[in-house]
Amino acid sequence: MARANEELSAWLDAAVDPMVACDAHEHVYFLNRAAEQLFAWKREDLQGQPVSRLFPERVSHHEGQSLVRYLLSRRDALEGRPTRVFAQRSDGAEVLVELTVGASGQGDDERIVISLRRLHEVIDTLREPLEHPRHEAEASLVETRVRGDDLYRLVVENAPLGIFHYDTTPVVTACNERLVTILGSTKRIIVGLNLLSLRDEAMMRCVRESLAGRGADYEGNYASVTGHKVTPVHVRFAPCYNDSGVVEGGVGIVEDVSQRRLAERERDEGMALLTTLFDSAPVGLGFIDTRLRYVRVNERLANINGKSPEEHLGKDPHQVLGPGGPAVELMLRHVLDTGEPVVEEEVDTSLIGSPGPRRLLAGSCYPVRAPDGRMLGVGVLVEDITRRKLAEEEREKLYHEAQQAIRVRDDFLSIASHELKTPLTPLSLRLATLERKLERGESVDPTTLRHARQHLLRMTGLINDLLDASRIEAGRLALHPQATRMDSLVEHVLQAMDAQRAGHELRYVHPEDAVQVFVDPYRLEQVISNLVENAFKYSPDGGVIQVTLETHGELALLAVKDPGIGIPVDQQTQLFERYFRARNVSSRSYGGLGLGLYISRDIVERHGGRIWVESQVGQGSTFHIALPLLSGTSAHPPVSQPDQHVH
Ligand code: ADP
């Protein structure tokens, strides 16, 4: 009998499916090897223990009966179909099993046999038809589990990712439909495929990793066996364990990354394009986040701000721009607060306190938003318009000057023609009188002749001034300097002009000693005559005209003082410019071309001297000339000749 028992045990141990036998009181008295393995119990430890220890507490009783008794009572209804429940291993882990319960014998001799089948997580297995208990009570016993399995299957089948399982060989044992679609293959080809046959080193490394119990990621191209389709894929390899914690294979989760790669390539190309445009833009470009920190700036903006692009990153405008920062921050805050752009705001760096040379910048700030409308920061566009602005200003100045020149020329032409015509009428009248008298044989009045000559002289003077001015402009006014006694020269000029003084008193104050200068006497006479003529002309009420000559150090100083109309202070610096006439002299009351002082300054300065005026409107004027003295020892003072003279 003992031998028969041993033989029976050996048969049962050889069976693949786990089996547990218990007595009428549901105490285990035998379990085969497969059951030992499934439950991780040693046979001798479990023997004599209640069979309920093999199930979690929540399922070991049902409707007031033990699970085993309950299933025995439902045996006819189940017609031999297994029931799916969770069993519990000695270490507390739960495993899903299908079990059938049978019994033999009566009373104390009753023997109950539970045969089990472990449900692996192999996907295809889940596709096999499941036994569903028909009875409601049975349903409530296992419904959660069954629903869990169904859901699991649903998840796997409808996952947007391809999923496959492989064993340690490594042969694919199961896969979902999505994988079939991704790889453009068939389930028949994929299941049973040995991953080694793909001859992909990187993939094999991942498989090896997973079989060694570690997850691994693979990215590469899968060429379908038929060779028609190449799919870029990302595969996450993960190990699968059996109940004993031993790796029994792995699972691969496959993502078709062709769209992602395409999108990445498009994004990379787009980024490369933008980066090139950004970096090579001839204007400053930058992006500042909502906390007002520089995130990116191009070379041009870095240049404008005087810091390298790296020195901007993570800093706020105050840190980068120093005193100029607050004005920029104000602009950025405005954009962030209102969402409105600021366009082409002109900034003068000298006005906002930026260090370095003055620059004019045109800055625009635009809100940058995420597709969902969230504010990401501010895009900044800065253009250095200093040169453009200065050129514009220069152009405006030139234009203004040109307008001014045209006005001056027009004024000059009308004044010049008026001035030239003025002496002509009296001159021709005087000549007509003379002619008449001569015809009648009457004696000629010398006053008439003198007057005629004066008008002629006036015209000659005007024409000479015009010629001199154009010579000066062309750099062709020649000087013939020689040692000259200036005291005598002034005296001579004043004597010659005595006839013109009309109601004025002309005084001459000069040193006793000779005043020697090295000048062109003809030209110096011209200067002095001009000053004295002006003194007469612009002092219409008569009065004393005082001419003073003195020496001071190395200089001869001449002053011509009149009690006349004076010159507005703001116009005194312009007096010596060509055609300039002060605003308090109308051409009606005071004839003149505005050339005398221009010619005088040129002559004096080319003798190494200086000419200036002191005057107040209504108080009279004093014109001063300073010329280098010719001392016995010193060499001739420099006199610039026309070829050196540049206008
Ligand atoms: P013109 O006398 O022919 O106008 P000038 O070159 O000699 O030309 O003088 C330029 C201008 O300077 C005069 O138009 C006048 O406005 C002012 N000016 C010159 N001398 C005097 C002076 N003595 N008193 C007041 N204004 C003077």
Ligand 1 centroid – CA 616 distance (Å) = 13
- In a shared domain, residues 177 and 150: yes
Residue 272 lies in a domain: no
**Where residue 632 falls among pLDDT bands split at 50, 70, 90?**
low
Q: How confident is the model over 612-628, as a mean pLDDT?
A: 97
- In a shared domain, residues 397 and 343: no
Q: Which of 538, 572, 603 to mutate to test the pocket of ligand 1 (most atoms within 8 A of CB)?
A: 538
Residue range(s) defining the domain that contains residue 188: 136-261
- In a shared domain, residues 84 and 218: no
Q: Is 384's C-beta closer than 6 angstroms to any atom of ligand 1?
A: no
8 A C-beta contact, residue 508 and residue 560:
no
The helix, strand and coil proportions of the chain, stated in percent and rounded to the nearest 5, come to 45, 25, 30
Residue 532 lies in a domain: yes
- Residue 562 CA: nearest ligand 1 atom is 23
Q: How confident is the model over 220-233, as a mean pLDDT?
A: 78
Domain boundary among 343, 364, 384: 384
**Where residue 295 falls among pLDDT bands split at 50, 70, 90?**
very high
Q: Which of 585, 593, 598, 624 to mutate to test the pocket of ligand 1 (most atoms within 8 A of CB)?
A: 585
Task: Look at ligand 1, atom 2, and give the residue with the nearest C-alpha.
Answer: 592
User: How high is the pLDDT of residue 150?
Assistant: 66
- In a shared domain, residues 456 and 561: no
CATH of the domain at 419: 1.10.287
- In a shared domain, residues 97 and 181: no
- In a shared domain, residues 459 and 530: no
Residue 128 lies in a domain: no
User: How high is the pLDDT of residue 76?
Assistant: 85
User: How high is the pLDDT of residue 130?
Assistant: 35
- Residue 583 CA: nearest ligand 1 atom is 16
571 — phi, psi (to 5°)? -105, 0
Q: Is 595's C-beta closer than 6 angstroms to any atom of ligand 1?
A: yes
- In a shared domain, residues 489 and 630: yes
At 269, the amino acid letter reads E
Token pair 């199930």 is found at: 55
- In a shared domain, residues 312 and 339: yes
Handedness of CA 613, 616, 617, 619 (dihedral sign): negative
Q: Is 564's C-beta closer than 6 angstroms to any atom of ligand 1?
A: yes
Residue 111 lies in a domain: yes
Ligand 1 centroid – CA 467 distance (Å) = 19
Greatest mean pLDDT among 339-348, 438-447, 543-552 lies in 543-552
Residue 447 lies in a domain: yes
Contacts of 206 (CB under 8 A, 6+ apart): 216, 217, 218, 235, 237
**Tally of residues, the chain:** 647
8 A C-beta contact, residue 581 and residue 592:
yes
Domain boundary among 203, 228, 261: 261
User: How high is the pLDDT of residue 82?
Assistant: 85
Domain total in the chain: 5
- In a shared domain, residues 509 and 453: no
Q: Which of 464, 536, 575, 593 to mutate to test the pocket of ligand 1 (most atoms within 8 A of CB)?
A: 575
User: How high is the pLDDT of residue 225?
Assistant: 62
Q: Which of 581, 598, 624 to mutate to test the pocket of ligand 1 (most atoms within 8 A of CB)?
A: 581
CATH of the domain at 36: 3.30.450.20
In terms of pTM, does the model score above 0.75? no
Residue 641 lies in a domain: yes
Over the stretch 451-475, which tens digit does the pLDDT of each residue have? 888 889 888 988 999 999 999 989 9
| DSSP-derived secondary structure for 276-343 | HHHHH-SSEEEEEETTS-EEEE-HHHHHHHTS-HHHHBT--HHHHHGGGHHHHHHHHHHHHHH---EE
Over the stretch 109-140, which tens digit does the pLDDT of each residue have? 899 999 988 765 333 333 333 333 444 444 44
